[in-house]
Structure 1
Amino acid sequence: MSSSIILPSTNLLGSGCLSQAVETIHQQGFSKALIVTDAVLTQIGLVATITDQLVAKGISFAIYDGTQPNPTIDNVEQGLSALVDNECDLIISVGGGSPHDCAKGIALVATNGGKITDYEGINQADKSPFPLVAINTTAGTASEMTMFSVITDESRQIKMAIVDQKVTPLVSVNDPQLMLAMPSSLTAATGMDALTHAIEAYVSVAANPITDTVALKAIELITKHLPTCVSDGSNLEAREQMAYAQFMAGMAFNNALLGYVHAMAHQLGATYHLPHGICNAVLLPHVQRFNVTANPGKFVDIAQAMGKEVLGLTTEKAAQLAIEAMDELAREINIPATLAELGVNRDDIDKLSESTLNDVCCLTNPRQATKEEISEIFQAAW
């Protein structure tokens, strides 16, 4: 089976790499950027730390900061208007997954025309998107370096997955200094999203030796450093390790794809507007309990990467320790234990299960489920 490894052509990582990114933008000859972000990042002054560096290099800017936590079709259209009205020649997304996803949508429609709904699905665009530099402030969704954009269609109450090699940003930027401002609840949620990316990619039927290597290393680093980031957000070393870990998790799932955790979480996000990382974290152990029989050996590897002692255990026992470790990590960083705590209505499970099976993420799950089995996983998590 052939494999392809898709990444941005330039990826800047490590403390202080923001200035390198601004220098790169300057060297490329861009003159005016549309900053796509959210209101909170503007308010706390994080956007200003970036725009100050742009201005110092003679690059002007406009700001669109209307991005919602689950970016909508409306957000894409507003951002596109801002891009055109301000005659920008570059888009810079600043934030976590939401601004990056929104910016990818804007960039795609800016060059391909039509509406963002035209690009739902896989590789629907003909033209390369508008130039995009993605500056990441969470660790995270890895949206700054993937070919995925998830946009909420409020009228249909679904999250549209746009999977297109062309939406991959030109440059990804992961400067942990920009992550120090992230509150502990967001740190926990985005960290569990990264863990879910790594685990789903590792057990995916489309995994390959490259994705396996980065996925396992990501699992190890997240287990080790996420609790520190949650309890002491100003720890730059732990933040830097998480920045690398979430990037590797992104590398893994961008190429090996995902599974039922994401397929189910997308339905919860679209129906209840819940934080994506929290939905993933609650569902993760339950889905993997369903998956474990498909490839127990891989779950033994996960258990070891998460610090469990597996020597002398049967494969089955050792594999179960991986699921325990997922549960333990979520408890340690104060993730809610059940979907009921998140306000999910038990009566909606049938409808949620049905829409889950239409999600593109189902295709690479290691064990295929019926609607009844998906419903049972939701019930167990409820």
Structure 2
Amino acid sequence: MSHTIVLPRIMEIGRDASQKLPEVLHSLQVRKPLIITDKMMVTLGYVDKLQALLAAAGVVADVFDDTVPEPTDSSIRAGVERIQNGDYDVIIALGGGSPIDSAKAMAILGKFGGEIRDYKFPRQVEESGLPIVAIPTTAGTGSEVTKFTIITDEANNEKLLCVGLGFMPAAAIIDYSLTVSLPARTTADTGIDAMTHAIEAYVSQKRNPYSDAQALAALRLIGPNLQAAYHDGSNEAAREAMMLGATLAGIAFCNSSVALVHGMSRPIGAFFHVPHGLSNAMLLPTVTEFSIPAAPARYAECARALGVASVSDDDEHANARLIQFLKDLNQELQVPSLAEFGAQAAEFTALLPQMCEQAFASGSPNNNPRVPTQAEMLALYRSLWATAAAM
């Protein structure tokens, strides 16, 4: 049985890889870029550095810096209009997952029009929008190497999963030095997001030998380095390992899939405005414990790759160590409960049926080794709240 593997056309990886941006644009035969980013990238000086680098190569780059965390259909509208009213032939997406996801949506809508809901899964978006050069500044989402984007439909409080080759960047520039300034909270949330990508890709029902190899390689990098990067952001060895691990995890789930954690996580983000990596972290121990009986050998391999179990541990002991590690990790990285984040119990309970509906509609839960029933998903959500309340 064969498997289709999708990757960016060009990847530059390593310290100061961002210096290769002019060469990458030349390889793509483009000359008129629009940098899509956020205000923080401007404040940190990253945008000025890219513009100066391009100017030295004779390329003038305009900037759109109004992307927001957890992008919405309304937040991308101005960027779409900017593209439609310009003569740009390439987009440079600079920042974390939100600017890159925003740029992906803008690249398609700017060329083909419509609303983002028109492109939601199960539609496969194969049309080619403006080519994207993705430059991530967080080690987490893997958006620089995936054919996905997530945009919230504000009217319905629904995170729309959009899928297809049209969302795959033409090039990815993976420069870990851009992550050294990340605060600890962002390092933790994006790092757990990357770990979740790798675990879910490895246990997914859509897995394949290629995605397996990328997922295990990602876990071997993330396991020993996530806490190190969280506690000491200047630790370049840990930053480099996390950046490469996040990219490999992105490649893994792009060519396999995510599963139940992500399916249940998106409604939490949409209704309670929890950052994506953080909502994944809230769910990961509970959902993993639920899922292990359907794929004990797979989860045990994840534990061994992370370094929390040894080759001498049998699957049962490896999985017990995995669950304990995930719980301890959330405590060490100060992952708040939903209640601590500010959600109200009455609102949470009232929204549970709609959250389950949106989770199943995304398709991700059906990729899980153990697919929950409606009642089981409700119980998982409720146990998340009950566990949080008991802590």
Q: Where on the TM-score scale, by shorter chain, does this alignment land: which range?
A: over 0.9
CA distance in 2, matches of 1:59, 1:291: 51
CA distance in 2, matches of 1:379, 1:360: 21
Aligned with 1:367 (options 365, 370, 382): 370
Letter in 2 for 1:119: Y
How far does the alpha carbon of each residue in 1:149-206 deviate from its partner, in whole angstroms, 9 at most, with x for none?
0011101110110011221000011101111121111111000100000011111011
CA distance in 1, matches of 2:134, 2:228: 26
Native 8 Å contact 1:306 1:325 kept in 2: no
Letter in 2 for 1:6: V
Native 8 Å contact 1:34 1:82 kept in 2: no
How do residues 297-316 of structure 1 correspond to structure 2 at under 5 angstroms?
297-310=297-310, 313-316=313-316
Superposition RMSD on alpha carbons, in Å?
1.6
Corresponding position of 1:377: 380
CA distance in 2, matches of 1:128, 1:196: 29
Shift of 1:34: 1.0
Sequence identity (%) = 37
98-107 or 298-307: which moved more?
298-307
Shift of 1:311: 5.7
Letter in 2 for 1:221: L
Native 8 Å contact 1:31 1:58 kept in 2: no
Unaligned runs of 5+ in 1: none
What SS is found at the alignment partner of 1:75? coil
Alignment of 1:339 onto 2:338: yes
Corresponding position of 2:187: 187
Corresponding position of 1:86: 86
Shift of 1:310: 4.5
Corresponding position of 1:48: 48
Shift of 1:312: 5.6
What SS is found at the alignment partner of 2:61? strand
Letter in 2 for 1:351: Q
Using structure 2 for the length normalisation, give the TM-score: 0.93
CA distance in 2, matches of 1:135, 1:173: 5
How far does the alpha carbon of each residue in 1:181-233 deviate from its partner, in whole angstroms, 9 at most, with x for none?
21111111000100000011111011111111111121121111111111111
50-59 or 307-316: which moved more?
307-316
What SS is found at the alignment partner of 1:3? coil
Letter in 2 for 1:46: Y
Alignment of 1:229 onto 2:229: yes
| C-alpha distance 95-311 of structure 1, shift in aligned 2 (>3 A) | closer
Shift of 1:27: 4.5
CA distance in 2, matches of 1:30, 1:182: 31
CA distance in 2, matches of 1:350, 1:14: 45
Letter in 2 for 1:365: N
Corresponding position of 2:359: 356
Corresponding position of 2:388: none
Letter in 2 for 1:373: E
Corresponding position of 1:109: 109
How far does the alpha carbon of each residue in 1:318-370 deviate from its partner, in whole angstroms, 9 at most, with x for none?
2222111222222222222x322222333233332232221221221111111
Native 8 Å contact 1:30 1:59 kept in 2: no
CA distance in 1, matches of 2:124, 2:313: 48
Letter in 2 for 1:216: L
Native 8 Å contact 1:118 1:124 kept in 2: no
Letter in 2 for 1:374: M
Native 8 Å contact 2:309 2:322 kept in 1: no
Corresponding position of 2:59: 59
Corresponding position of 1:261: 261
How do residues 111-260 of structure 1 correspond to structure 2 at under 5 angstroms?
111-125=111-125, 127-260=127-260
CA distance in 1, matches of 2:226, 2:33: 33
What SS is found at the alignment partner of 1:248? helix
Shift of 1:121: 1.1
CA distance in 1, matches of 2:214, 2:339: 34
134-143 or 115-124: which moved more?
115-124
Corresponding position of 1:39: 39
Native 8 Å contact 1:62 1:86 kept in 2: no
CA distance in 2, matches of 1:122, 1:240: 35
CA distance in 1, matches of 2:344, 2:359: 16
CA distance in 1, matches of 2:133, 2:327: 36
How far does the alpha carbon of each residue in 1:230-286 deviate from its partner, in whole angstroms, 9 at most, with x for none?
111122221111111001100110011011110111001111111100000110010
CA distance in 2, matches of 1:368, 1:28: 42
Unaligned runs of 5+ in 2: 386-391
Shift of 1:308: 2.7
Corresponding position of 1:13: 13
Shift of 1:37: 0.7
CA distance in 1, matches of 2:86, 2:308: 54
Using structure 1 for the length normalisation, give the TM-score: 0.95
CA distance in 2, matches of 1:20, 1:376: 50
CA distance in 1, matches of 2:225, 2:125: 38
